[in-house]
Structure 1
Amino acid sequence: MKLDRIISNPNRMNGQPSIRNLRLTVRRVIELLATYPNREELRQEFPELEDEDIQQALIFASSYLSDACGGQSQRIIELPNRYETVV
């Protein structure tokens, strides 16, 4: 599975997985989804955040939780080569 909108750069956001070149971590996007259940309100507050960004953040988080909880499927998430890989 390739998530081309999720990056990890040790020089940005303390190396946390982030969305594109935005200053939004995957964790923050998940928090925003809980805070703004209405996507229209979320889009008004964060117009730079696209639907594909949200989808990939959810996929990344669910894959991380599956692996962390001893999930049966082991997935490898590929990130762009120009950044460090997060496993």
Structure 2
Amino acid sequence: MVIIGMELMFRIDDSYSLKDKRSVVKSMIHKMHRKFNISIAEIDKQDMLNQGVIGISVVGNAYQQCHTVLDRVLEEIEETYAIEVYKIERVEA
């Protein structure tokens, strides 16, 4: 069994209130969970207006499979949402 996690830190371009930020982050979380069947949650900077941190984890049989899923999730997030990813940390177990 392989468990790989990723912490994604990003800035939201068009966020002028917590309501704007939360709508983007909640949409991101629900859409990615449904599409890729991953565990995903907002884990830090909940009270910052234009910054967010989400944690993503994948469980699978092979490292390559898990890394591929995380790469696809990252691509989908960057293509779909008006955000700037400034830090990515991966953790393997």
TM-score (norm 2): 0.28
Higher relative contact order (CA 8 A, sep 6+): 2
TM-score (norm 1): 0.30
Higher strand content, 1 or 2: 2
